[in-house]
Structure 1
């Protein structure tokens, strides 16, 4: 990407996590760079933070040798072995007022960063934004609309059994600092789905999950190795969280 100007203030930090994506990291970075440059052209101050967590050599090479790289990107090599911790490695060094989380093998629409930022300006601090449309490709092809918490289709109790949103999220850095995504070791604990757990915790804390209208997230469905698929195979469940506890209390009050 073009070299960023040295500014003390950044509007959006795009945090991208990589593991073993290999050459797929190339197309993901192309998509992210195009969307980020589109936002920069509109006057949004954007930085890109690339987090390589125990990444294999092909993934590292695909990131470092990408033709758009070499500008003002922040590159982190970490050994977390955990997606939530890797995201927070990027969040910790981010200068942006807002954090835009993207996975290193997925694609985003051209106006993705810009539309999320513009939508964020319409809301107060207690909001997390998600893309409007999800296009799945790879293991299977599908598309779906995500649920806006302010709309008629949102059902709060449904979070007990289903996650309404994918992991891609856009929110203030202060929200991630006050309610961090936590490490979930599925093999040891039997729990899974760190983003689902975070959605529950934030909703319990009064955060609204809304949509950035007109945005599309292209979600690569892996044939193997996906953390979501591994969690499902392991029959993992969401950890206990504040939303579940409050729902149980409401249920007990109803029974009484």
Structure 2
């Protein structure tokens, strides 16, 4: 298994169908290019119809659905990661949308860096936020700020 995707859900029933479609498109893209993927869906403190929506979705990759009552993203994400069989773990939330090439390109990028024994975290360059206000954040490389900067601001909002 190359990549385990851990999808954490709480009360995003309004968004989860679009998220599942987005992840499915990206998983299919990667699998067609030889990447082995599994999906682990962690439903924390289930509300609304979110469990039904997920259970009725036709995933194209091996998938597990677990239900927990942590009421907290960190422990719930860790529950999913503990089940991961992939060499690499990708995380997603119930309101995330990803590009079709996201998992595949991230995997290829990591494999190139792995040859140099580099340790990396891969994340998108741009993130669009949907809330009361919609906006786009561009993330910068970590060499553009110091560890001390974290004491004053979060460069990764």
Contact map agreement 2:18 2:97 (CA 8 A) in 1:
yes
Q: Which residue of 2 aligns with 1:126?
A: 119
- Selected match of 2:8 from 7, 14, 17: 17
Give the aligned partner of residue 90 of structure 1.
Answer: 80
Output the TM-score relative to the length of structure 1: 0.57
Mapped partners of 1:64, 1:25: distance in 2:
12
Between the aligned partners of 1:74 and 1:62, the Cα distance in structure 2 is 14
Q: Is the partner of 1:138 in helix, strand or coil?
A: coil
Structure 1 ranges of 4+ moved more than 3 A? none
Structure 2, unaligned stretches of length 5 or more?
A: none
Cα 1:32–1:86 change in 2 (3 A) is same
The equivalent residue for 2:24 is 33
> Which residue of structure 2 aligns with residue 53 of structure 1?
44
* Pairwise CA distance, 1:42: 0.9
How far residue 57 of structure 1 moved from its aligned partner, in angstroms, is 3.6
Q: 2:90 aligns with which of 95, 100, 114?
A: 100
**Cα gap change, 1:132/1:70 in structure 2, threshold over 3 Å: closer, same or farther?**
closer
Q: Are 1:161 and 2:152 an aligned pair?
A: yes
Structure 1 residue 126, shift from structure 2 partner: 2.0
For this pair of structures, how many residues does the alignment match? 154
Task: Please list the CA deviations of residues 158-213 of structure 1 after superposition, one character each: whole Å capped at 9, or x if unmatched.
Answer: 111222225xxxxxxxxxxxxxxxxxxxxxxxxxxxxxxxxxxxxxxxxxxxxxxx
Calculate the TM-score normalised by the size of structure 2: 0.90
Which structure would you say has the larger RCO, counting Cα contacts within 8 Å and 6 or more residues apart? 2
| 2:137 paired with 1:144 | yes
| Structure 1 residues without counterparts, runs of 5 or longer | 1-9, 167-256
- In structure 2, how many angstroms separate the alpha carbons of the residues matched to 1:71 and 1:121? 21
Bigger Rg, which one: 1
Partner Cα separation in structure 2 for residue 71 and residue 108 of structure 1: 17
Shift of 1:125: 4.9
